[in-house]
Structure 1
Amino acid sequence: MTTITIAVTGSISAYKAADIISELGKLGHNVTVLMTESAQQFITPLTLQVLSKNPVHTSVMAEDRPDVVNHIALAKDTDLFLVAPATADTIARLAQGRANDIISAVALALPPTTKKMIAPAMNTAMYDNLLTQANIKTLKEIGFKEIEPRVALLACGDLGRGALATVADIVSAVQASLD
């Protein structure tokens, strides 16, 4: 069974993680969920726990077992690491190699052979910003694949590129990456 770790960050589209997790589970994958504090403002860990049938990890400092370093064990158990939605902040932290939350700490501890993907979701100006694009380029250079955002009417009212890819497109990209 493939273990997919999905990292949910603080975007309005965080609620779509529920459908992504559900669909990946239906395909027979074991889904582990990581959430930033801001993601928890949009969707609860309980919702994602019920759908994934696994505990949801929200803190890098939570060490439930004294014989296991949680973020290291999670990284070792991951076959594919997916950040969906991936905010500009999380993309920057991943590109800089930071480890100040559960998502960035697990990402930094991933074995080099682990498949890694990001599905950005943010305002068009933030996505097109040269800093964000440089961070995405850095992530691609170290093996991340990008599931590009869609052009749509965004939550802020702007029309442009930045909407999270569709659930079907994300699940399809994950499946293709595993084949």
Structure 2
Amino acid sequence: MTNITLAITGSISAYKAADITSALGKLGHQVTVLMTDAAQAFITPLTLQVLSKRPVHTDVMAEDKADSVNHIDLAKETEIFLVAPASADTIARLAQGRADDIVSAVALALPQDVKKIIAPAMNTNMYENPLTQRNIQTLLDLGFKSIEPKIALLACGDVGRGALADVTDIVQFVQEICSDSKA
């Protein structure tokens, strides 16, 4: 069993995180869910809590125990850090080393050996914007892996690259990372 932290960010495809959580859980992984405020506009924490059978973390300032720091403890428990969907905003926050929400704070506190993955999902123009591409490249240079978004009809009506990769592809990618870690 691998301890996977799934970070869900503000994208219309956030609802697919329910399927990712469920699939990873069925494979025997322990899934801990983090959600940005924007993600909660698309899917509720309760949905992810039921599927993961674990508390969902939404607030970097929420400290459940007086003798520990929540985002540090979450980072220490993480073996694979998966951001799916990864919005342009969160990608920028991660690339800048910010720590002002639960997702970016846990990411910044991760031990260096933790496997880190982003699965971008956004409008084509946002994805292809040189700033977003620079931020993705920064993360790749820092050791993150990226699951390429697919070309599709997007929620906004545009057609182009930016749709979240298929859930099965994301789960398979994570499984491959798990296998590589144990080899």
Task: Tell me the matched-pair count.
Answer: 179
Give 2:105's aligned residue: 105
Give 2:44's aligned residue: 44
Deviation at 1:59, TM superposition (A): 0.3
Give 1:159's aligned residue: 159
Give 1:121's aligned residue: 121
What do the CA deviations read for 1:116-158 (whole angstroms, capped 9, x no partner)? 0000000000000000000000000111000000000000000
The whole-number CA distance in structure 1 between the counterparts of 2:68 and 2:7 is 20
| Structure 2: unaligned runs, 5 residues or longer | none
Deviation at 1:178, TM superposition (A): 1.1
The whole-number CA distance in structure 2 between the counterparts of 1:96 and 1:142 is 11
Give 1:178's aligned residue: 178
What do the CA deviations read for 1:66-106 (whole angstroms, capped 9, x no partner)? 01100000000000000000000000000000000000000
The whole-number CA distance in structure 1 between the counterparts of 2:173 and 2:161 is 19
Give 2:91's aligned residue: 91
Matched residue type, 2:111: P
Deviation at 1:162, TM superposition (A): 0.1
The whole-number CA distance in structure 1 between the counterparts of 2:92 and 2:41 is 21
Matched residue type, 1:165: A
Q: Stretches of 4+ moved more than 6 A in 1?
A: none
Give 1:143's aligned residue: 143
| Structure 1: unaligned runs, 5 residues or longer | none
Deviation at 1:31, TM superposition (A): 0.2
Normalising by structure 1, report the TM-score: 1.00
The whole-number CA distance in structure 2 between the counterparts of 1:117 and 1:80 is 8
The whole-number CA distance in structure 1 between the counterparts of 2:46 and 2:174 is 24
Percent sequence identity is 75
Matched residue type, 2:88: A
Give 2:71's aligned residue: 71
The whole-number CA distance in structure 2 between the counterparts of 1:94 and 1:87 is 11
The whole-number CA distance in structure 2 between the counterparts of 1:135 and 1:121 is 14
